[in-house]
C-alpha cells in the first residue's frame, strides 16, 4: 500500500523487532479530516467493518419493523460473532420466524470461534452449519430484506435488489461512488472505498439524529444496538466486545478482516477508520485502542485497553520479554 506510515512497533527487550505500517483517519460530523496517518485516499475493502452500512436497508425499507426486529437482531446484523450459543440460538430463531432454515443462508458453514462450543462439537463429532458462520446475523438480515422486497433467493449476487440497496447506502454514507467490489469470505459483495470514505461513513453514524432523515434514524438504531449488545457483535475475549464494554457501550467499534477497524463516537460526532497494510489484527487492535485513548473516550489503564494498546509479549515460561505498542505519534 502506497504512502503507508509506521503505526505499531513490536519491541523485544531494547530492540525494535518489527513494524506494522498503515493508514488511519478521524473525521468530524461534516466528513472533514480531523487527524490522519498515512494516505486518507488509500482504497481499501472494509470487509466486516462495513456491516452496519450493509444493514441500513434492512431498517430503511421497513423490513425490520415489519418483522418486529429488536435491538438484539440489529446487533447481530452488524456482527462478526463467535458462533457461541448466544449467537447461534438467536440466529436460528430468527430464521425460523422467517419460515426458513440453514439452507436459505448463502454465507457457508464455519466452525465456531467460541472455544466451548467448538469443543462440544468436536466431542460430539458434529459438523459446522451456516448459522455458525460469523456473518450469519448479517445474512439473516439480508434474507429478511429479501422477503420484504419479494426478491429471489440468491441475495448475495451483486445485481440482486438487496445488494443494489446496500451499494446505494454505501456510496451515500462514504460520500463517493465505489470503484468496485470483492467477494467477501461470506460470499456477499464487499464494496471498496477509501480510508477517508470509511471514516466519513462512521462520522455519519456518529452524528446521525434520531429525529433526522430515514437514513439517520436507521443509523442511530444500528449504532445504539451495537452499544447495547457488545457480546452479540463479537463475543467473549474479542477486542470489539471488550473495548465496547470498557467504554460503557458509548462507542460502537467493529473489526474487519485484513486488519480494518472502525469506531463510531456519538459524543464527539466523530468517525474513525484504520487499515493496517500487512493485514495483521494485533496491529489494527493496537491502533484503534490508541486512537480511542487519544480522543479521550477510552481509559488507557483499563485492562482491555492494555491488552490491545500495550500488550506484553510473553515467552514460553510466561516471562514478559517485549511489548507491542503504537508509535509515538499515537500516544
- Predicted local confidence at residue 1, as pLDDT: 66
Residue 278 scores a pLDDT above 80 = yes
Cell numbers for 98, please give them: 422467517
| Residues with Cβ within 8 Å of residue 2, at least 6 apart in sequence | 39, 42
Report how far apart the first and last C-alpha atoms of the chain are (Å, whole number).
24
SS3 of 226-258: HHHCHHHHCCCCCHHHHHHHHCCCCCCEEEECC
Share of the chain above pLDDT 90, in %: 98
Query: For 16-57, how does the pLDDT look when each residue is reduced to its tens digit (9 = 90+)?
Result: 999 999 999 999 999 999 999 999 999 999 999 999 999 999
Per-residue burial over 177-194, b if 16 or more Cβ lie within 10 Å, else e, is ebeebeebbbbbbbbbbb
Average confidence score pLDDT of the chain: 97
Residue 253 scores a pLDDT above 70 = yes
CA distance 288 to 309: 8
- Predicted local confidence at residue 84, as pLDDT: 97
- Predicted local confidence at residue 330, as pLDDT: 81
Residues 306-310 have a mean pLDDT of: 96
Residues 281-299 have a mean pLDDT of: 98
Residues 78-107 have a mean pLDDT of: 98
Query: For 151-193, how does the pLDDT look when each residue is reduced to its tens digit (9 = 90+)?
Result: 999 999 999 999 999 999 999 999 999 999 999 999 999 999 9
Query: For 49-61, how does the pLDDT look when each residue is reduced to its tens digit (9 = 90+)?
Result: 999 999 999 999 9
Residue 2 scores a pLDDT above 90 = no
Query: For 213-227, how does the pLDDT look when each residue is reduced to its tens digit (9 = 90+)?
Result: 999 999 999 999 999
Share of the chain above pLDDT 70, in %: 100
Domain boundary assignment for the chain = 5-330
- Predicted local confidence at residue 331, as pLDDT: 72
Contact 27, 34 (CB under 8 A): yes
Contact 251, 269 (CB under 8 A): no
| Residues with Cβ within 8 Å of residue 63, at least 6 apart in sequence | 57, 144, 145, 147, 148, 149
Q: Residue 113: which of 237, 226, 230, 283 has the closest Cα?
A: 237
Contact 74, 129 (CB under 8 A): no
Residues 308-324 have a mean pLDDT of: 96
Domain at 5-330: CATH code? 3.40.710
Query: For 60-80, how does the pLDDT look when each residue is reduced to its tens digit (9 = 90+)?
Result: 999 999 999 999 999 999 999
- Phi/psi at 207 (nearest 5 deg)? -100, 0
Residues 241-258 have a mean pLDDT of: 98
Amino acid at each position: 500500500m502506497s504512502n503507508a506510515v509506521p503505526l505499531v512497533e513490536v519491541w523485544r527487550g531494547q530492540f525494535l523487532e518489527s513494524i506494522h505500517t498503515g493508514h488511519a483517519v478521524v473525521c468530524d460530523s461534516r466528513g472533514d479530516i480531523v487527524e490522519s496517518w498515512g494516505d486518507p485516499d488509500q482504497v481499501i475493502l472494509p470487509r466486516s467493518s462495513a456491516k452496519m452500512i450493509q444493514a441500513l436497508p434492512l431498517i430503511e425499507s421497513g423490513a425490520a419493523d415489519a418483522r418486529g426486529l429488536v435491538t438484539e437482531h440489529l446487533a447481530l446484523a452488524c456482527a462478526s460473532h463467535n458462533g457461541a450459543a448466544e449467537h447461534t440460538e438467536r440466529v436460528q430463531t430468527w430464521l425460523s420466524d422467517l419460515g426458513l432454515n440453514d439452507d436459505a443462508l448463502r454465507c457457508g458453514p464455519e466452525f465456531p470461534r467460541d472455544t466451548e462450543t467448538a469443543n462440544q462439537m468436536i466431542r460430539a463429532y458434529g459438523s459446522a452449519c451456516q448459522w455458525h458462520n460469523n456473518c450469519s446475523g448479517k445474512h439473516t438480515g439480508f434474507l429478511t430484506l429479501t422477503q420484504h422486497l419479494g426478491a429471489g433467493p440468491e441475495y448475495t449476487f451483486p445485481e440482486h435488489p438487496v445488494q443494489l440497496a446496500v451499494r446505494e447506502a454505501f456510496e451515500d454514507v462514504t460520500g463517493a461512488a465505489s470503484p468496485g467490489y470483492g467477494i467477501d469470505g461470506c460470499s456477499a459483495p464487499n464494496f471498496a472505498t477509501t480510508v477517508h470514505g470509511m471514516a466519513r461513513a462512521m462520522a455519519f453514524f456518529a452524528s446521525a439524529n434520531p429525529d433526522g432523515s430515514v437514513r439517520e434514524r436507521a443509523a442511530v438504531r444500528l449504532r445504539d444496538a451495537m452499544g447495547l449488545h457488545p457480546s452479540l457483535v463479537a463475543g467473549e475475549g474479542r477486542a470489539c466486545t471488550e473495548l465496547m464494554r470498557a467504554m460503557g457501550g458509548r462507542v460502537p467499534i467493529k473489526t474487519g478482516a485484513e486488519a480494518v477497524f472502525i469506531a463510531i463516537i456519538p459524543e464527539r460526532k466523530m468517525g474513525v477508520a484504520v487499515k493496517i497494510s500487512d493485514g495483521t489484527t494485533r496491529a489494527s487492535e493496537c491502533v484503534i485502542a490508541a486512537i480511542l485513548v487519544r480522543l479521550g473516550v477510552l481509559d488507557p489503564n483499563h485492562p482491555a485497553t492494555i491488552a490491545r494498546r500495550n500488550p506484553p509479549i510473553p515467552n514460553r515460561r510466561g516471562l514478559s520479554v517485549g511489548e507491542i505498542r503504537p508509535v509515538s505519534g499515537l500516544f
